[in-house]
Amino acid sequence: MRFVDEYRDAGTARALSARIAELCEPGRAYAFMEVCGGHTHTIYKHGLEDHLPPAVSLVHGPGCPVCVIPMGRVDDAMHIARQDDVIMTSFGDMMRVPGSHGSFFDANAEGTDIRMVYSPLDSLKIARANPDRQVVFMAIGFETTTPSTALTVRRAAAEGLTNFSIFCNHITIVPALRAILDSPDVRIDGFVGPGHVSTVIGCRPYDFIPRDYGRPLVVSGFEPLDILQSIHKLLRQLRDRRCEVENQYTRVVAAEGNPVALAVIDEVLEPRPDFEWRGLGRIPWSAMRVRERYAAFDAERIFAPPGARVEDPKACQCGEVLTGVIKPWECKVFGTGCTPETPIGACMVSPEGACAAYYNFGRARHRATEPAKEMSRA
Amino acid sequence: MTAAKVAAGRSESGVLDRVEAARRRRPKLRDTHITSAHGAGGKATATLIDAVFLEGLRNPLLEPLEDAAVFTVDGTRLALTTDSFVVTPLFFPGGDIGDLAVNGTVNDLAVAGARPLHLACAVILEEGMAVDDLRRIVASMARAATDAGVSIVTGDTKVVQRGRADGCYVTTTGIGLVPADVRLGAARARPGDAVLVTGPIGDHGITVLLARGELDISADLSSDTAPLAELTSRLLEAVGAPADGPGVRAMRDATRGGVATILNEVATAAGVGVIVDEDAVPVRPTVRGACELLGLDPLYVACEGRMVVIVAPEVAEAALAALRSHPLGADTAVIGRIADDPPGMVLLNTAFGGTRIVDLLVGDPLPRIC
């Protein structure tokens, strides 16, 4: 398939893999954090680590939007969904994320009407088709999905819809990266930087990472060869004693981002002084809320959910996984207490979550059979 | 990495061995209510069947949980199966709920090695459904039955209030004759066996998904719904399925849960590893494209006219030739092999040159955000 297969070619991967191995200094180990859940998914789905030398390890970052939604926000969403005549709409990833009393699927089994949509515009269609019901879109995601939410609100306002609102949980990547870099446990030599987020915000917001924290960052695409090439670029910077923001994903990401998308976000949403991230705790100015001007479309103002803070389950080490302090398998409950069937933490739910990706795709890596090895090492 | 953080004695392989041990334990049903995941054909479905149905109805014929039960009456081996159909929309490119219901039950008999004889059909109709729609569905059932060489010999009709059913639900039950010398079952797979799939996968699932019209994606694609009894009998005539010696070991139609689910069932039932080469799995570009856009994996998407065949290595070539000689098996491909390691697991050699697991899903595949 054109525009896909070119980025998944095993021959090119092997060539790149050899060049990556050449760049590793003998006796040195490298740990790179891939920031996005989309990267984590690609790495496991294609078995990318089979192309990396033992000296290079990948650390999974906080960029899985579903994984960092705290249980309290899930509970708030269900509170809204339980109101009379409410239809809640949500991206599919969100449906199985546990709140303190089960997931959206469980809530539906008990009578709520929470529907899966592919786009916030689909929620708008549902609102038009159900004028006697309140349709609420569970808005989540980093800057990648924020513009489409903002556009949807603007369109709803233009159409004069009075039965549509959003429950805004949009978050921003830069404060999360700063929180990770400030954590005393951090052991990361460089970042495979966000791709789709950067299509919106551009590359400049990451300048503080090489400048203040001395770590290189390469903005990367989501195909497996994109990620291998980004790792190659990181190693080349380290070898050349350079430390800068590079853009591997030039076919999509412009240095200045997308000013139109940024303007739409700014028109509809504003930064929240404070937001809780699952596993990372409260991070100031790390999320967005609806501006006063669009208050009529803000589910938090309309339904006033309780906003109770819910502690993460004690056994759960999502925070350490999300900051790359431990690998998924190092979590005390990984694969035994916490599985995709009975997830304790959201990292085990989303296909982009580090634990789910490792559990579903990566578990057999240490015991790959002979034919598999022949293929990957040939 | 961060070895100091890990409790003494915990290694990655140690943890993974414990995980495998946990996976082999019988899953507990923790849910207090039915959710959509219980109907998706993955782990949640398996857990529900085990904890509620198998627990309540346990008997030796039910226990293997094959597509059909095979038993002997007065020296004649019979296969019995049943299946319910709840597709939305009722009509989709390439078929409708009528031929789907006939083919689905015919195929469950066929992959048990049976020659389908007769079908029973029960319909639940929703108040307000157009009689013309029902006529179309029944006409399509009649055509499918003729094509499959079966008759629908008994049935039942019920009507429920508006809003209590999606237009109509159909249940079909089928009975078939199994030749005396045919022995099939997922547990019969042995290391060295070849794994075949009889054509491009995922056509039905993607067709129906797009036919719902919720995604604003259109594609030139139709369901692969088809009766497989001729194909299976041609295969069995060519290479047989003897109790001892080389032949077909198992056949499964890859419906709900797709090829990945079937392969996991084989791995678990036989205690073997299944190694699949991603490059070798036939997928139409349209299906691949739609899956890429929607964040789905074609390995988990339903087919209604494709089966997975496990066959002894000695007769793999002959089986391939027999399947390819029939129009419904013309694109049959060898997609992998059975290995002794890792037991109970499906491994995929990716086209990118890596390796990963192909596990059972919990419920329906969930589309990704970005």
**Residue range B184-208, pLDDT digits in tens:** 999 999 999 999 999 999 999 999 9
Confidence (pLDDT) at A372: 35
How many angstroms separate the CA atoms of A32 and A23, rounded? 14
For residue A328, whether the previous peptide bond is cis, meaning omega lies within 30 degrees of 0, is: no
State whether residue A363 sits within 8 Å of chain B by CB. yes
- Closest approach of A232 to chain B, Cα-based (Å): 17
Please give the ipTM for the structure prediction: 0.84
- Closest approach of B310 to chain A, Cα-based (Å): 19
What secondary structure does DSSP assign to A204-252, as a single string? GGGTHHHHHH---EEE--SSHHHHHHHHHHHHHHHHTT---EEES-TTT
Chain B residue with CA closest to A30: the answer is B1
Q: Give the closest residue to A139 by CA, choosing from A117, A159, A169.
A: A169
- Closest approach of B78 to chain A, Cα-based (Å): 37
How many angstroms separate the CA atoms of A191 and A235, rounded? 11
Contacts of B5 in chain A (CB under 8 A): 320, 325-326, 330
Cα dihedral value A143, A145, A147, A151, nearest 10: -160
State whether residue A252 sits within 8 Å of chain B by CB. no
| Residue B8 confidence (pLDDT) above 80 | no
What angle separates helix B203-211 from helix B285-294, to the nearest 10 degrees? 60
State whether residue B293 sits within 8 Å of chain A by CB. no
- Over range B336-341, report the average pLDDT: 95
- Over range B84-98, report the average pLDDT: 95
State whether residue A362 sits within 8 Å of chain B by CB. yes
Contacts of B348 in chain A (CB under 8 A): 47
State whether residue B344 sits within 8 Å of chain A by CB. no
Both ends of chain A: CA-CA distance in Å?
24
CATH class of the domain comprising B64-177: alpha beta
Q: Which of A45, A51, A326 is opposite residue B2, by nearest beta carbon?
A: A326
State whether residue B127 sits within 8 Å of chain A by CB. no
Contact A362 B292 (CB under 8 A): no
Confidence (pLDDT) at A320: 85
Q: What is the largest CA-CA distance in chain B?
A: 71
| Residue B345 confidence (pLDDT) above 50 | yes
State whether residue B183 sits within 8 Å of chain A by CB. no
- Closest approach of A88 to chain B, Cα-based (Å): 16
Chain A residue with CA closest to B34: the answer is A109
Give tens-digit pLDDT for B245-303: 999 999 999 999 999 999 999 999 999 999 999 999 999 999 999 998 888 999 999 99
How many angstroms separate the CA atoms of A92 and B216, rounded? 17
Chain A residue with CA closest to B21: the answer is A336
Q: How does residue B12 score in pLDDT terms, banded at 50, 70 and 90?
A: confident
Yes or no: say if A318 and A346 are a contact pair by the CB < 8 Å rule. yes
State whether residue B275 sits within 8 Å of chain A by CB. yes
Q: Which of A29, A65, A92 is opposite residue B366, by nearest beta carbon?
A: A92
What angle separates helix A10-23 from helix A224-239, to the nearest 10 degrees? 20
State whether residue A327 sits within 8 Å of chain B by CB. yes
Which residue positions in chain A have pLDDT lower than 50?
A: 367-378
How many angstroms separate the CA atoms of A70 and A188, rounded? 25
Confidence (pLDDT) at A371: 37
State whether residue B139 sits within 8 Å of chain A by CB. no
Domains in chain A and their CATH numbers? 5-66+173-247 (3.40.50.11750), 71-171+257-303 (3.40.50.11740)
Contact A325 B37 (CB under 8 A): no
| Residue B326 confidence (pLDDT) above 50 | yes
Residues 6 or more apart whose Cβ sits within 8 Å of residue A227: A34, A39, A42, A43, A48, A192, A220, A221
What secondary structure does DSSP assign to A304-347, as a single string? -------PPPTT--HHHHHTTSS-GGGSTTBTTTB-SSS-SSGG
How many angstroms separate the CA atoms of A122 and A90, rounded? 10
Contact B368 A329 (CB under 8 A): no
Contacts of A369 in chain B (CB under 8 A): 273, 275, 339, 341-342, 347
| Residue B351 confidence (pLDDT) above 60 | yes
Contacts of B353 in chain A (CB under 8 A): 10, 13-14, 47, 50-51, 375-376, 378
Confidence (pLDDT) at B367: 65
How many angstroms separate the CA atoms of B5 and A109, rounded? 40
Give the range among A57-61, A76-80, B69-73, B211-215 with minimum mean pLDDT: B211-215
Helix or strand run (H / E) with residue B286: helix B285-294
| Between B4 and B176, the higher pLDDT residue | B176
Main-chain phi, psi angles of A9, to 5 degrees:
-75, 125
Confidence (pLDDT) at B11: 83
Contacts of A352 in chain B (CB under 8 A): 368-369
Chain A residue with CA closest to B37: the answer is A105
Chain mean position to CA B240? 22
Confidence (pLDDT) at A289: 98
Contact B34 A109 (CB under 8 A): yes
| Residue B220 confidence (pLDDT) above 50 | yes
Q: Which of B288, B294, B349 is opposite residue A372, by nearest beta carbon?
A: B349
- Closest approach of B191 to chain A, Cα-based (Å): 13
Contacts of A44 in chain B (CB under 8 A): 356
Contact A359 B275 (CB under 8 A): no
Contacts of A351 in chain B (CB under 8 A): 295, 366, 368
State whether residue A137 sits within 8 Å of chain B by CB. no
Pairing mode of beta strands B151-160, B115-126: parallel
Confidence (pLDDT) at B39: 87
Contact B366 A141 (CB under 8 A): no
State whether residue B366 sits within 8 Å of chain A by CB. yes
Chain B residue with CA closest to A143: the answer is B370
- Over range B8-27, report the average pLDDT: 78
Domain boundaries defined on chain B: 64-177, 186-357
Helix or strand run (H / E) with residue B182: none
Contact A364 B12 (CB under 8 A): no
Q: Do domains B64-177 and B186-357 have the same CATH topology?
A: no
Contact A91 B369 (CB under 8 A): yes
Confidence (pLDDT) at B368: 62
Classify domain B186-357 at the CATH topology level.
Phosphoribosyl-aminoimidazole Synthetase; Chain A, domain 2 (3.90.650)
State whether residue B350 sits within 8 Å of chain A by CB. yes
State whether residue A323 sits within 8 Å of chain B by CB. no
| Between B130 and B21, the higher pLDDT residue | B130
State whether residue A4 sits within 8 Å of chain B by CB. yes
| DSSP state at residue A149 | H
Q: How does residue B369 score in pLDDT terms, banded at 50, 70 and 90?
A: low
Distances (CA, A) of A45 to A67, A194, A363, B149, B188: 18, 18, 12, 43, 30
- Closest approach of A376 to chain B, Cα-based (Å): 5
Q: Which of A1, A47, A92 is opposite residue B288, by nearest beta carbon?
A: A1
Confidence (pLDDT) at B31: 86
Chain A residue with CA closest to B14: the answer is A329
Contact B15 A329 (CB under 8 A): yes
| Between B12 and A273, the higher pLDDT residue | A273
Give tens-digit pLDDT for A195-229: 999 999 999 999 999 999 999 999 999 999 999 99
Q: Which of A93, A122, A359 is opposite residue B369, by nearest beta carbon?
A: A93
Chain B residue with CA closest to A140: the answer is B369
How many angstroms separate the CA atoms of A352 and B368, rounded? 8
Give the range among B37-46, B186-195, B299-308 with minimum mean pLDDT: B37-46
Q: Give the closest residue to B145 by CA, choosing from B192, B180, B93, B104.
A: B104
